[in-house]
Structure 1
Amino acid sequence: MDLALAQLEIEPGEIEANLARAAEAVAAAATEGADLVVLPEQFVVGFFAFDDYPTHAAGLDDPLFDRLAAMAADNDVGLVAGTTVEDLAASAAAGYDVPATEGYANTAVFFDRDGNQRGVYRKHHLFGYESAESELLVPGQQLPTVDFEGLTVGMTTCYDLRFPELYRRLVDKGVELIVVPSAWPYPRVEHWKTLGRARAIENLCYVATTNGSGTFPDAETTLCGRSTVYDPWGTTVGSVGDEPTRLTVSVDPQQVRDVRGSFPALDDRRD
């Protein structure tokens, strides 16, 4: 299966421009043969544009998600639509299972080739350090996996990388590829590279970390890019710099099974 990471330029608060870049990247990746495309965290509004979160929050039945579904269906690809700000009250009113009936969540949605919502992941670990994320958002509770093209795929988001127990739970669900939409800033580049690789090594699975690109002047923050795919040995399959670009690599579920069979470290786990 060919996996494409779309490292998008994200302009804070520029909704239509950000969506247009996402649509262009998905279409280009599909033309190049991608089966699954992953977008970055908060690619619609921009992670650090916290004042814009309430204005642009959307329930899972909102036209925004119809547009994202169309990106998948029109291009015949699976799509992990990075993350967006979800209006939990609106999703609850539409019948979705939500962690709270009010407030907002940092939510990733997996669309299949027909544009159907196959999995919804809400970021479990909200950034502390007096960050507005932990003040504005509700943490997720569910940990779905999606079977896609013969591969069991799990989703986590950015700061989740620092909490390895979440990834062990995904391993118990049979995950073979974990995608990690992110908005990881400078200067913590070494953390970004080390944590993604560590999660792949310890869980003997593919880990695909998809970051954004761009600067948030109000937050005095720049995203570090460097979207990367690690294989089950922790070897870098592909990586990019900090400019907007795409990374496409092949991932093979049989490699996960072979590695876990030849080096069955997971069998030695003790609670």
Structure 2
Amino acid sequence: MPTIACIQFDMAWENKPANYQTVAEMVRSANLAPGSLLVVPEMFATGFSMNATGIVEPVRGPTHDFLASLARQHQLFVLGGVVQPGPTGTWPALNGRPRNEAIAISPDGQLLARYAKMHPFTLGGEKDHYAAGDEIVQFEWQGLKVTPFICYDLRFPELFRRAAKLGTDLFVVIASWPAPRTHHWTTLLQARAIENQAFVIGNNRCGSDPKLTYDGRSLVIDYAGTILADGGTTPSVVTAAINPEAMRSWRTKMPFLADMRDDL
């Protein structure tokens, strides 16, 4: 069965080389099967920083290259967070705000998808420093349609519903979700799985940054809302095998998605 692996760790603040090294060591020790989907958190190379113009990279910059090298070296599909200019921006984003993005890379190092967070976190000042994305993206993995989202997107179920109508089988939410709202994190991830009859992966960081603490609790959840793996609160590689055929059987037996109404 296809395997998911989430890297949950305490990020070195705005220190890309240190974070690359930590992730590389954790992946090496995990000894993942080729073809697995490796997930790395939101802004994993820097932490959730509002120093947007200081941490932004070219579209194929060092974080992209690091993730691509991981994918090639271990023959993995890799999805991780990075700050890049928007499509109309110029390096180094002088004529517009950068975007908080998730990129997916194939085992041969090719870019599969590039998603920009559609809901910057207003309460944390993100909306003042980062431009919002405007489209859902998907990529194929092990015969599944995968849709990535980022952190605060999780609070907007209509976004997931739109993606469900596009045939999403697996949602991946990468995050820097703070400890005071961990209950919201776990509950909303399960709700998104149940209501869309899809696998949901929530990959959160642990540790702390200059402002907040993070509980981790990276989760792999099945199409019925059952938690298959829980990363707890400390650094770990959270792994789980998923059963796509069981999901398809569940959807056939319980055809809730067919009753969605477009006129409401």
TM-score range, shorter-chain basis?
A: over 0.9
**Distance in structure 2 (CA, Å) of the matches to 1:78 and 1:101:** 33
Matched position secondary structure for 1:156: strand
Corresponding residue of 1:174? 167
Alpha-carbon RMSD: 1.9
Percent identity of equivalent pairs = 33
Identify unmatched segments of 5+ residues in structure 1: 95-99
Matched position secondary structure for 1:50: coil
**Distance in structure 2 (CA, Å) of the matches to 1:235 and 1:101:** 45
Alignment of 1:99-138 (within 5 A): 102-129=96-123, 131-138=124-131
Corresponding residue of 1:33? 33
| TM-score (normalizing by structure 1) | 0.90
1:163 paired with 2:164, answer: no
> How far off its partner does 1:117 sit?
0.4
Contact 1:59 1:88 in 2 (8 A): no
**Distance in structure 1 (CA, Å) of the matches to 2:99 and 2:42:** 12
Report how many aligned residue pairs link the two structures.
259
**Distance in structure 2 (CA, Å) of the matches to 1:9 and 1:151:** 30
The amino acid across from 1:245 in the alignment is S
**Deviation by residue 1:211-258 (Cα, 9 ceiling, x = unmatched):** 0011113x1x10110000110000111112111101110112212211
1:235 paired with 2:236, answer: no
Alignment of 1:49-198 (within 5 A): 49-51=49-51, 53-81=52-80, 83-88=81-86, 102-129=96-123, 131-198=124-191
> How far off its partner does 1:107 sit?
0.5
Cα 1:203–1:245 change in 2 (3 A) is same
**Distance in structure 1 (CA, Å) of the matches to 2:101 and 2:146:** 16
Cα 1:42–1:64 change in 2 (3 A) is closer
Corresponding residue of 2:240? 249
Matching residue within 244, 255, 261 for 1:264? 255
**Distance in structure 1 (CA, Å) of the matches to 2:19 and 2:73:** 18
Runs of 4+ in 1 over 3 A off after TM superposition: 91-94
**Deviation by residue 1:116-157 (Cα, 9 ceiling, x = unmatched):** 00001110111122x221100000112111111111111001
Matched position secondary structure for 1:68: helix
Corresponding residue of 2:9? 8
Contact 1:11 1:214 in 2 (8 A): no
**Distance in structure 2 (CA, Å) of the matches to 1:64 and 1:161:** 24
**Deviation by residue 1:180-237 (Cα, 9 ceiling, x = unmatched):** 10001111111011000000000000000000011113x1x10110000110000111
**Distance in structure 2 (CA, Å) of the matches to 1:63 and 1:234:** 36
Corresponding residue of 1:45? 46
| TM-score (normalizing by structure 2) | 0.93
1:18 paired with 2:16, answer: no
Contact 2:89 2:97 in 1 (8 A): no
Contact 1:42 1:85 in 2 (8 A): yes
The amino acid across from 2:160 in the alignment is Y
